Amino acid sequence: MGADVHEDGNGERRSAERDANSAVAPTGVDHEFLALERELTVFLRRARASSGEMAREVHPDLEPAAYGLLVRLEECGAQRATELAAYIGVGKATMSRQLRALEELGFVAREPDPADGRAWLISLTERGRADFSQVREARRMRYVRQLAGWDRLEVAELARLLHQLNAGAE
């Protein structure tokens, strides 16, 4: 499966066993958690780069962070800007700027919230949904290619563990 080999920050491939044995850990720190930190750092760096690529595939002017907003709106439907800001973990001003950019690109629209006429609901437009779906399918196919050597049960287990990690962070 290749899980015992990873790339270091300089693009060099090294054995995870050698890394675990050679890691210098402060007293009381588990090697497993140092290995987890290292692998998550590499994973997150690649995920940020991938989100940037995906955002540019949706539209050249789309910011990488906005791709996550499109994901959330596609999965959950219309939401208030404050709900989106809380989910993404940004302030109201940042969320307002990102939504304005998405609105100018024609990917989202605002409509009055029927539950509170002072608030607005943000939703994907047909264009936003179509463009996003196309790029999301391309991303899914990239995962299929990258994990082609994995057993489907391993992929399911990875998804389950990542879900558990994400749920614990909320």
The answer to whether residues 15 and 25 touch, using CB atoms and an 8 Å cutoff, is: no
pLDDT at 27: 65
Evaluated on CA atoms 98, 101, 102, 103, the torsion sign reads: positive
pTM of the model: 0.68
- CA-CA distance, 119 to 128, in Å (whole number)? 22
Query: Which residues does 103 contact at the CB level (< 8 Å), separation at least 6?
Result: 109, 110
CA 166 to chain centroid, in Å, comes to 11
HEC string of 123-165 equals EECHHHHHHHHHHHHHHHHHHHHHCCCCCHHHHHHHHHHHHHH
pLDDT at 25: 55
pLDDT at 123: 97
**Could you list the mean pLDDT of each consecutive 10-residue stretch along the chain, which spans 170 residues?**
48 51 62 91 88 84 86 95 92 93 95 90 96 89 94 95 86
pLDDT at 58: 82
Residues pairing with 113 in the sheet:
116
- CA-CA distance, 145 to 111, in Å (whole number)? 39
